[in-house]
Amino acid sequence: MAQYAGWHSTFWLLSALAGAVAIPIALFLPETCRKVVGNGSVPPQRWNRCYTNVRAERRALSQGKEVPYVQRDDLARSRHVKFPNPLGPITLLLQRECGYALLYSSILACSFYATLALIPSQFSSIYHFNELQVSLCYVPFGVGALVAAFSRGQMIDANFQRHAKRLGIVVEKNRRTDLTGFPIERARLEVAVPTIVLTTACTIGIGWMLQAQVHESGPLIMLFLVGFCASASLNCIAALLLDIYPGRAGTVAASNNLLRCLLGAGATAATVPMINGVGVGWALTIFGALNTVFMPLLWYIMREGPGWRKQRSAQS
């Protein structure tokens, strides 16, 4: 689109797609918060109703059923507006286990942000790709991330089951397992380490392939592997944090986004100047080296994590 209709057309398309999604959601997606609609039988407030709610309410009235307006008002009175604490993500970053895990996760993300940032300049200058061809170079990375999303969960669960069997812990499906005394850090991060090593190797490989100006199929295959390995590794770290902070998923996600975006912005801004200064091969080697230098953080988390959880549990 940018090639044939100008770069403005990309944003018009995004606006149209956002509207195409937002309008059906506003019209047909009902409120599901239990504090508002209970088990689903309580109608939401008039300003919060969509067409689905209106139709269900009219059907109930036409059938002579009683609509629980009183219960709706009781729920409304029992709710208290609580302003979210904007410092919550920052305080979570200051906790050792979360801070170390998110720091390494963000450093790992920097390497693939840098890889994605160099695609337009390097593929257009080395292989003389136009804007359409450059945009298609992102497809292998996306496909790799998609494959990781479908396959990584099984690997994580298998390693969890292995540790549970070793400790004689019975894992019941759809029921939360008591993690007291369970090495959840090791169960999650053991799966991440091999793919982190592959991510680092493939990131460096892309740099030197572009430096040597090999056939474009080589870097594209490496982009697929980086997409798979990086996404799989980050998913493992995210799963660990959700296990450690099960009731604070939103705060964990906010902390993750905050630190990752800060470091990712710096990595993206530094990529092209680094390429101009030392070449694309050494630029990505530096990012890969950062993954290796900070990897002992994961071993430190695996060793000390259970003790940190016990201390936090005792303090709470």
Task: Show the DSSP H helices in the chain as ranges.
Answer: 2-5, 8-28, 34-37, 51-62, 69-78, 88-93, 96-126, 131-136, 138-167, 184-212, 217-244, 249-278, 280-293, 296-315
Mean pLDDT score, 89-102: 86
Task: Among 44, 78, 112, identify where a domain stops.
Answer: 78
Where does the pLDDT of residue 109 fall: very low under 50, low under 70, confident under 90, or very high at 90 and above?
A: very high
Q: What does the alpha-carbon distance between residue 35 and residue 37 come to, in Å, rounded to a whole number?
A: 6
Whether residue 96 is found in the same domain as residue 134: yes
Task: Among 78, 101, 120, identify where a domain stops.
Answer: 78
Where does the pLDDT of residue 61 fall: very low under 50, low under 70, confident under 90, or very high at 90 and above?
A: confident
pLDDT at 294 over 70: yes
Whether residue 164 is found in the same domain as residue 295: yes
Residue 215 lies in a domain: yes
Q: How far is CA 185 from CA 71, 127, 272, 297, in A?
A: 44, 44, 36, 12
Task: Among 37, 55, 78, identify where a domain stops.
Answer: 78
Q: Which stretch of 182-196, 240-254, 274-288 has the lowest confidence by average pLDDT?
A: 240-254
Nearest to 141 by CA among 220, 62, 33: 220
Residue 168 main-chain phi, psi, to 5 deg: 75, 30
What does the pLDDT read at residue 34? 77
Whether residue 192 is found in the same domain as residue 264: yes
Length of the chain: 316
Cα 15 to its chain centre, rounded Å, is 23
Residue 83 lies in a domain: no
Mean pLDDT across the chain, nearest whole number? Answer: 87
Q: How far is CA 85 from CA 16, 48, 150, 312, in A?
A: 34, 25, 34, 20
Where does the pLDDT of residue 172 fall: very low under 50, low under 70, confident under 90, or very high at 90 and above?
A: low
Whether residue 253 is found in the same domain as residue 160: yes
Where does the pLDDT of residue 174 fall: very low under 50, low under 70, confident under 90, or very high at 90 and above?
A: low
**Residue 315, amino acid:** Q
Mean pLDDT score, 215-233: 94
This prediction has a pTM of 0.80
Mean pLDDT score, 250-275: 90
Residue 144 lies in a domain: yes
Whether residue 301 is found in the same domain as residue 161: yes
Question: What domain range is 42 assigned to?
Answer: 2-78
Mean pLDDT score, 230-253: 88
Region label for 183, one of left (φ > 0), alpha (ψ between -120 and 50) or beta (otherwise): beta
Task: Tally the domains of the chain.
Answer: 2
pLDDT at 187 over 80: yes
**Residue 27, amino acid:** L
Residue 36: count of CB within 10 angstroms of its CB:
16
Residue 294 main-chain phi, psi, to 5 deg: -95, 0
Whether residue 138 is found in the same domain as residue 18: no
What does the pLDDT read at residue 142? 93
